Every structure is written in structure tokens, then in C-alpha cells.
Homo-oligomer: A and B are copies of this chain.
């Protein structure tokens, strides 16, 4: 990939800046050849990857280097795109929103600090991956389980900042971190929560500070670079129980969600509940050609055949319970009773007890990466991209969304992948789109489908909590109360904290004054 620069930066200016950055991070960590640029591009781009092409990348090794990099970036006006590990696949990977932005790769900052078993937290730098954290806890034989997402190749810190979800009781990642260290766009170093006090002992124990809280301001954000994050972990439980059920009909999702929602709200179920359609499993463990070689969406009879051959329902449901054995047995009894009022199907149960080896799944704090294989459903040059609106945990809106989305997938010629994650009081829908990046027509249809899905959700009062780089402006636009008052607030604070507009222009639709389109 050839070097592309931001519109307002000359090659000479950029070269001088790179030299200055090299003096901070070391020349070896200025990554400026075409192979480097390819490495930081979006491997799953829906269309031309140069739309989000990085100019180059630099990789600092310490907080002090990050501060120095920001000072130089302000001096030269170089826009930076910080990444933790750059594994946010499906949402843009390591690539920046604005072409020519310089990737600031924080992957070398990879220390696990201050792990505390009794307090059940760790403090991580941006480069710490879920595999790193798991291996550390195993090696040190620490009885702590970390929240693990469905695909664990990313950063523990990055996933939390991007409002990711994970298995276990701390799966609402952005509500289960506590205490940040942040470098502001001008290079200033702050700590949030109790850590705003020098020598604070309770930095990672208490959610608040004295005065306004800033932690959430640094999530899905271009207002600061988080260099340390306190992450709440679970002490190894006495037991863990897995309850699974296959549900035969598409419409079962309605009563299932309405049965689960009050149990989740009341804390009988304390972790996310996952419900995925059969395609979720099939796409991760086979390729489309294994089942069907025609054009357009797979016909219904082929889909029925897949369910039959794999012996799965339309939906697969999994519920996890963690804690003292007698408590989770009681919780399981309550759940079984609630389901018995709706179905004669029974749960398949697995009980894990302390001392036994852990099943190798994220449900038990063990990282995996195989779900990433869905990207190759259609072709080895495949990609995937998520449509992720937030819905209430209620039958009518969920069934309506399901029917409409499924029809739209069919209309645009794509196989329908449907997943629902039940959070504390909401459902995160994930409709995953798998495509062949080399098929131009498919890429065009994919883009049109995503825009149609967004418009459809918006017309019913819903929008996404997260999106690919290519759709950040569109999703941000959907937040339009009082003539986009939220955007005006975002812009005001962006301009106050980052007057030179150097940090992650365009992230989540927030542009600094320098690059802002006049609306």
C-alpha cells in the first residue's frame, strides 16, 4: 500500500515529523514501508481499504514516550490513531478512520501490573491481550478468572474501551473497569477515580472520585489515550454451571427473551446470555461451499438441511451461572421452572467444580480465537462486519427486527447470521455480514444492506452501539435529538481538549474543528 497523507500535511512536514517521532520511539519503531502500511490496513475492508489507509505507524514503549509523541504531533499537526492491539476485526481492525492518519501502536506497552487476588483486579497496559492475561494468571497459579469475549485475540483494555462484551459476571466490560491512567491530547497525564490522588490505595476499588466522573468520556473516544486500566476479575468460583437448550423455531426467540429478561434484571442470571442462530455455529466450523454453491442467500431447504445434519435448532441458547454450588443450583431451579412454563424441552447441563480442569472456553475464563473463522465462510478472501443495534428485551420489537433484518439479508443476497446477547436490561443484536472482499458486486450490496439496516432500525427508534469505521458518521448522525445536540457537546469538548485536532479524527463520528465538515 502506497503512502497516503492527511489532506493538510505536506510530504516534507510529514518526513520531519517522522524524524522527530523516531527520536522518541527509536527508528526501528517508525514503521513506514508499504508492508507496514498493509499490516495496519483493515484486512476485512468492505471495499477499497485505502479509504482508511494509514500513512505509517509508530510504536512507543512507555507512557513518557506517548506524552512526547503527543507533543510532537501537536507541534507538526500530525493526526494520530491510537490502537491497543488493532484486533477490532469487523469494526476496522488497526486502520484509522481518516486516510493518512498515523497509527499509534500501543502494543509494545504490554505489562500486567498490580494483580491482586483478594481485591480481584489487575491493571493492564493497552498491549495486554486476553491470551497474555490468561497465561499470566495460569503461570502464577492465581485463582482469578478474567472476562473473555467470544474471540480473544484483542486487547483487554481496548475491548473494555470500545464497550465490548464478554463472558462472566464482568462481561459488561465498560461497567467493570475501575480507575484509568490517561494521556490527554496535549500530553498531560491524569488518573481517574481515587487514583486522582497521589499514592491512592483504593484506585481500583471505587467507581467514583470527588466531582464529575471522566472514565466514560475516554471510551469510544478520541479525547485521550488510556495507558493503564484497572480491570475487575472474578475470584475462582466454587462452581460454574452451563445450561444449554436448542430451540426449534425462529419465533422461539420471543418467549425465550421474555422469560430470561426478568431473571437477568433480578440478578438470578448475572452474566450475559447468548442466543445465536444455527448459522453462527455453522459459519465458524465450515465453509459455504460445503453446503451450497448457488448465488444469493441460501434457500430455506438448504438451511433446514444444515440444522438437520448438525442436529441443532434454529437457535442455540447458553446461560452461565457462577458461584457457590448451592446458590447456583437454586438459581438453575428457578430458571428451569420459568422455562417449563413455556416448553417441554429440557436444558443440557454441565457442572464444573473447583479442582476440575476448566473446559477450554471463554465461559470459563479460557481464551479462544476460532470464531474468527466466520470471516472465511464465503472465500479465503472473506471479511465480516457487524450490524449491532440495541433493543429492549421484549418479544414484539425483537421479532420485528428479526423478520425485517432477515428479509433484508435475503433481498440483498446474503446468508442471515443472527445473534442476541441479553445484557442487564437490553439486548445487543449482532447481525454479522460475511462477504468476499474480491467480489465487487457483493461488496456494493453489502454496503447497501448495512445502510438499509441502519435506516430501518432508526425509523423504529433504535440505533447501533458500535460500528465499522466506514459507517461512523452515519451512526453518529442517527443520534439526532434536539438537532444533534450530542454532536455539538462532543465537538465542544473535543475542541477544548484537542485544539490542534490530532487525536483520532472521525472516531465515532467526532471530528476536530480542523477537519469538521460545516453542517
Interface residues of A (CB under 8 A from B): 118-121, 163, 169, 172, 174-175, 178, 184, 188-192, 194-202, 205-221, 223, 232, 234-235, 237, 262, 265-268, 270, 323-324, 326-327, 329-331, 333-334, 390-394, 397, 423-426, 458, 460-467, 475-476, 478-482, 485-486, 488-490, 492-493, 495-497, 507-510
A364 to chain B, nearest CB (A): 16
- Contact indicator A480/B237 (Cβ below 8 Å): no
- Contact indicator B198/A481 (Cβ below 8 Å): yes
A121 to chain B, nearest CB (A): 8
The answer, among B208, B262, B265, B423, for a CB contact under 8 Å with A174, is B208
Contacts of A206 in B (CB 8 A): 390, 423, 425-426, 465
- Contact indicator A426/B205 (Cβ below 8 Å): yes
Can you give 10 contacting A-B residue pairs, CB < 8 Å? A174-B207, A178-B425, A191-B482, A196-B486, A197-B481, A201-B461, A205-B425, A211-B490, A214-B216, A324-B334
- Contact indicator B324/A327 (Cβ below 8 Å): no
The distance in angstroms between the C-alpha atoms of A211 and B121, with both chains bound, is 26
Listed residue (A213, A215, A463, A465) with the most chain B CB atoms within 10 angstroms of its CB: A213
- Supposing A191-B481, A194-B390, A323-B266 touch, asked if A218 and B210 sit within 8 A by C-beta, the answer is no
The residue on B at minimum CB distance from A486 is B196
A175 to chain B, nearest CB (A): 6
- Contact indicator A235/B262 (Cβ below 8 Å): yes
The 8 closest A-B pairs by CB, nearest first: A213-B216, A496-B496, A211-B508, A196-B486, A201-B461, A196-B479, A330-B330, A206-B426
- Supposing A391-B202, A460-B201 touch, asked if A497 and B492 sit within 8 A by C-beta, the answer is yes
Contacts of A326 in B (CB 8 A): 330, 333-334
The distance in angstroms between the C-alpha atoms of A267 and B189, with both chains bound, is 34
Listed residue (A208, A391, A488, A490) with the most chain B CB atoms within 10 angstroms of its CB: A208
The residue on B at minimum CB distance from A466 is B210
Contacts of A426 in B (CB 8 A): 202, 205-206
The residue on B at minimum CB distance from A509 is B211
- Contact indicator B461/A199 (Cβ below 8 Å): yes
The residue on B at minimum CB distance from A464 is B210
- Contact indicator B217/A392 (Cβ below 8 Å): no
- Contact indicator A209/B327 (Cβ below 8 Å): no
- Supposing A211-B510, A212-B220 touch, asked if A392 and B485 sit within 8 A by C-beta, the answer is no
The answer, among B189, B196, B201, for a CB contact under 8 Å with A462, is B201
- Contact indicator B268/A323 (Cβ below 8 Å): yes
A12 to chain B, nearest CB (A): 33
Contacts of A175 in B (CB 8 A): 175, 207
The distance in angstroms between the C-alpha atoms of A75 and B399, with both chains bound, is 52
Contacts of A462 in B (CB 8 A): 200-202
The distance in angstroms between the C-alpha atoms of A390 and B208, with both chains bound, is 10
The answer, among B172, B194, B217, B323, for a CB contact under 8 Å with A217, is B217
- Contact indicator A492/B485 (Cβ below 8 Å): no
A22 to chain B, nearest CB (A): 27
The answer, among B210, B333, B481, B497, for a CB contact under 8 Å with A190, is B481
Contacts of A508 in B (CB 8 A): 210-212
The residue on B at minimum CB distance from A328 is B330
A291 to chain B, nearest CB (A): 36
- Supposing A208-B163, A210-B464, A476-B210 touch, asked if A216 and B218 sit within 8 A by C-beta, the answer is no
Contacts of A466 in B (CB 8 A): 210
- Contact indicator B214/A489 (Cβ below 8 Å): yes
Contacts of A331 in B (CB 8 A): 324, 327
Contacts of A423 in B (CB 8 A): 206
- Supposing A190-B481, A390-B206, A465-B206 touch, asked if A267 and B270 sit within 8 A by C-beta, the answer is yes
The distance in angstroms between the C-alpha atoms of A265 and B425, with both chains bound, is 21
Given contacts A194-B390, A210-B479, A495-B496, 18 further A-B contacts (CB under 8 A): A163-B208, A188-B488, A188-B489, A189-B482, A190-B485, A197-B480, A198-B482, A202-B426, A206-B423, A210-B476, A210-B478, A211-B490, A211-B508, A211-B509, A212-B508, A214-B489, A267-B267, A327-B334
